Amino acid sequence: MKRILCSILIPLLLLCSCASENSAPTEPAETVPVIATQPPTAAPTDAPKKSVFPKLSTEDLVKLRIASIMKTKPGKTGSISVEALEQYPELPTGCEAVALTIALNALGCKLEKTEIAEEYLQYDDNYVIGFCGDPFSDGGAGVMPIGIIATVDNYVKATGAKIYAYNSSHMPLSDLYKFIDAGCPVVMWTTYYMDEPWFTGESIDYDGETYQWYNNEHCVALYGYDRSDGTVDIADPLRGAVTVNADEFERINHEIGGWSVTLIDTSKLDTPATEKPTEKPTVKPTVKPTEKPAKKPTEKSTEKPTVKPASATLNKSAAATEKPTQPTVSKPAETQPATEQPTKQPKHKK
């Protein structure tokens, strides 16, 4: 009997204990928050890279360009395509402005013959730093390289042109030929018809240089050379496009001071210097105007001169109109220099 009861009670007790365990409340399982992650993105391949070198100024780039040009060797011949312009009748004493216009147009500028003189030419009673007198009259004098460089700066600031004027004074023709090969025209000082200089005895010392005045002062644009023939090609505001003896041209330039200004296209500063152009340039014929321009500047320059040369010794109109057989040398007045200013002097617009 006992065995029977045990066999019945033990299974019942086991069932009751299992039922009580199943009915006991259970604690909810702790949930772990899921953090959403994005797959890593690949870095863009066209991202600009920062240069480890500092950005060079235009002047620094020009220096590098000039150094590159000077390492080249000039060829037997070289030339730049130019359009020759003549200064008469509008600018009887404005050869510098016309020569500069020829050089600027060779670099792609589109200037009228009188535009530089009317709008951008630097004026001053000191002929070293600005044009002395009125280039539209017979009584004008002239200007030296520093004034032409200032004129180019005026033009660049007003128009945004990518041009740099480099003072290449005292450089021999053999080095200037390298500029021609690189497509850089050169504005050079000489004399009317390559006569002997007519020095007046007057000079101005400026920034360590002595600038002697000569009455037949003249300016041309050098655009070509031929070393086998010993000649250079110049765009002469008096005679148009002419070819002259290189040695004689260099001798006169050296005698008057060796003055020259080279124009460099700064939009091509990253282009390496070449020894010789691949295409043969052409020279467009000179077109002579039939009448004078209607507009002629009448106002005087408002800038205060630093040095005023004697106006009687700075009149070069006689040298331009005729070619005397024997030049006469005039001397500045010993008692008191003349103080007259040109009656008509163009205004300088900035």
Q: Residue 109 carries which side chain, given as an amino acid letter?
A: C
Residue of higher predicted confidence among 339 and 143: 143
Predicted structure pTM score: 0.69
Residue 202 has pLDDT above 80, yes or no: yes
111: left (phi over 0), alpha (psi -120 to 50) or beta: beta
- Whether the CB-CB separation of 72 and 117 falls below 8 Å is answered with no
| Residues near 114 by beta carbon (within 8 Å), at least 6 away in sequence | 90, 91, 97, 136, 293
CATH 3.90.70.10 holds for 62-286: yes
pLDDT digit string, tens, across residues 279-331: 444 555 443 433 433 333 434 334 433 333 444 356 676 655 554 343 333 33
pLDDT digit string, tens, across residues 10-69: 666 666 565 555 555 555 555 555 555 555 555 555 665 665 557 888 899 999 999 999
